[in-house]
Amino acid sequence: MSNNQSDCSVESSLFEKRKKLYPREVHGLFANLRILGVSTLLGIYYLLPWINLNGRQIILFDLPERKFYILNWIFWPQDFIYLALLLICAAFALFLFTALAGRLWCGYACPQTVWTEVFLWIERKVEGSRSQQMKLDKQENNPVKFRIKAKKHAIWAVFSLFTGFTFVGFFTPIRDLAPSILFFELGPWETFWFLFYSLATYGNAGWLREQVCMYMCPYARFQSAMLDKDSLVISYDALRGDPRGSRKKSDDLQAKKLGSCVDCTLCVQVCPTGIDIRDGLQYQCIGCAACIDVCNDVMDKMNYPRNLIKYTTENSMDGKETTFLRPRILIYIALLISILSGVVYSVETRDSVTLNILKDRNSLYRESYDGTINNSYTIKILNMDLVDHSYTLSVSGIEGISSSIKSPIHVKAGSIIEMPLLLSVQPESLQSASNSITMNLQALDDADTTTESEGRFIGPLNP
């Protein structure tokens, strides 16, 4: 389908009033895989902030302190490059999986799918099956309908609020957050994000659902560019299925000139985006495989071979061979592995301490009564390690240079300290007006924790 065509159809369907969809419940291999995906991802989302490591939340984006704690690492603002690289890795992983397996992400792992799945499940538990839901919606307003609808929305709302609470728990320690919500002591901005995210969940998963995939998702729009003839897509085997038509189990298909499709429309009823996969590949298809599961059930009941709708590739539909390891896949894998290993290596080997030297701008140098030349500085030490350290500071570059700082300097884990420093030299040691010096910071308890910084020492023009 050309982009133009798809854009036109998006626009015209936006124009129509949205018809509410009632996706039918489905069981089978892919439904089970989706439940597995959904529960794993939701489990990670809801449990992660409650897990502590070394007395600290395992993932915490501490905005006030401007530190991100992820597993055993602390990321500072200057480490933004790592996060950017990790995001690039995530994008490459998405490209790779799309090229290999089509919209695997959409069908099994996208938050929109995951939360919609939970909301649909709640809806089915409260309102009943697809036909019961349709019947209920057709009824005039009455107390029973109101009670059922109110119950559904109340459960959705509680679930959304819990989701919003968990979201804020990634930014504010969740164990402090829980009591402050219970006692209505949440700060105004936390309250804002708590309600904002809850509302977004409620709106996206409860109301917008497939419309997010169809009209709002950028990935859905450009994923077709990542697919090729060897990517897995879900497709109906028209050669085998057509001509469609209802029949009895005992009918002779050849005599009746029928294909395998019994035209039960179950594949349309289970589709969360409401499309008919038998019309060919469509951009609305999120690759959830619900239609495969339900059609396989029908085939089993009819004693026909399975897989009338199946995961396949364009090449295999054309009777050609499918190659999985093609150049673009190998390039994606190579890029992914090299960026990822580069990030891990550089995070693991980055300095766990930094030393910044700022020369006092008010005076170039000062001469004391005994002739010593003094320069003053401010130094900043940032301990990026997870444990406290004591450091010694040594200065070299000029013979006999002495420092005002008495070692050791104690800096707490993940903290920064700032202190004044006065360096003094005898005038005869100075070679020129501006001399380069090196400061070395060395942790007392760990030989590998060390850093160096360059600075300048200014003296009189003719020393």
Extended strands (E) in 243-383: 309-312, 353-359, 366-367, 373-383
Minimal distance in Å, beta carbon 270 to ligand SF4? 6
Minimal distance in Å, beta carbon 173 to another protein? 13
Residue 14 interacting partner from ligand SF4, another protein, none (CB closer than 5 to 8 Å by kind): another protein
Minimal distance in Å, beta carbon 16 to another protein? 9
Q: How far apart are CA 407 and CA 391, in angstroms?
A: 7
Here's the x/- map for ligand SF4, 270-289, by CB under 6 A: it reads as: xxxx-x-xx------xxxxx
Instruction: Select the residue interacting with another protein from 44, 53, 90, 216 (CB under 8 A).
Output: 216
Minimal distance in Å, beta carbon 232 to ligand SF4? 11
Closest by Cα among 83, 112, 111, 109 to 94: 109
Contacts of 279 (CB under 8 A, 6+ apart): none
Residue 263 interacting partner from ligand SF4, another protein, none (CB closer than 5 to 8 Å by kind): ligand SF4
Residue 95's identity, in one-letter code, is: F
Minimal distance in Å, beta carbon 128 to ligand SF4? 21
Burial class (CB in 10 A: 0-12, 13-18, 19+), 286: buried
Q: Encode burial over 215-238: b for 16+ CB neighbours within 10 A, e otherwise.
A: eebeebbebbebbeebbbbbbbbb
Residue 365 interacting partner from ligand SF4, another protein, none (CB closer than 5 to 8 Å by kind): none
Q: How far apart are CA 228 and CA 106, in angstroms?
A: 17
Residues in binding contact with ligand SF4, number by CB under 6 A: 29
Choice between 213 and 423, CB closer to another protein:
213
For residue 132, what are its two tokens?
Answer: 């019961």
Choice between 198 and 296, CB closer to another protein:
198
Q: Are strands 434-443 and 450-458 parallel, antiparallel or unpaired?
A: antiparallel
Instruction: Select the residue interacting with another protein from 45, 46, 73, 215 (CB under 8 A).
Output: 215
Residue 261 interacting partner from ligand SF4, another protein, none (CB closer than 5 to 8 Å by kind): ligand SF4
Residue 66 interacting partner from another protein, ligand SF4, none (CB closer than 5 to 8 Å by kind): another protein
| Residue 233 in contact with ligand SF4, rule: CB under 6 A | no
Here's the x/- map for ligand SF4, 300-339, by CB under 6 A: it reads as: --------xx------------------------------
| Whether the Cβ atoms of residue 219 and residue 94 lie closer than 8 Å to each other | yes
Interface residues for another protein in 333-392 (CB under 8 A)? none
Minimal distance in Å, beta carbon 271 to ligand SF4? 3
| Whether the Cβ atoms of residue 324 and residue 277 lie closer than 8 Å to each other | no
Q: How far apart are CA 170 and CA 329, in angstroms?
A: 34
| Whether the Cβ atoms of residue 22 and residue 135 lie closer than 8 Å to each other | no
Residue 298 interacting partner from another protein, ligand SF4, none (CB closer than 5 to 8 Å by kind): ligand SF4
How wide is the angle at C-alpha 138 spanned by C-alphas 136 and 143, nearest 5°?
55
Residue identified by tokens 């070299």 is 396
| Whether the Cβ atoms of residue 278 and residue 238 lie closer than 8 Å to each other | yes
Extended strands (E) in 205-296: 233-236
* Eight-class DSSP state of 76: -
Residue 60 interacting partner from another protein, ligand SF4, none (CB closer than 5 to 8 Å by kind): none
Region at 98 (left for phi over 0; alpha for psi -120 to 50; beta for the rest): alpha
Interface residues for another protein in 62-91 (CB under 8 A)? 63-64, 66, 77-78, 80, 83-84
Minimal distance in Å, beta carbon 98 to ligand SF4? 15
Interface residues for another protein in 218-247 (CB under 8 A)? 218
Choice between 167 and 377, CB closer to another protein:
167
Residue identified by tokens 């005869």 is 428
Under the rule (CB under 6 A), what is the footprint of ligand SF4?
A: 234, 236, 241, 261-267, 270-273, 275, 277-278, 285-291, 294-295, 298, 308-309
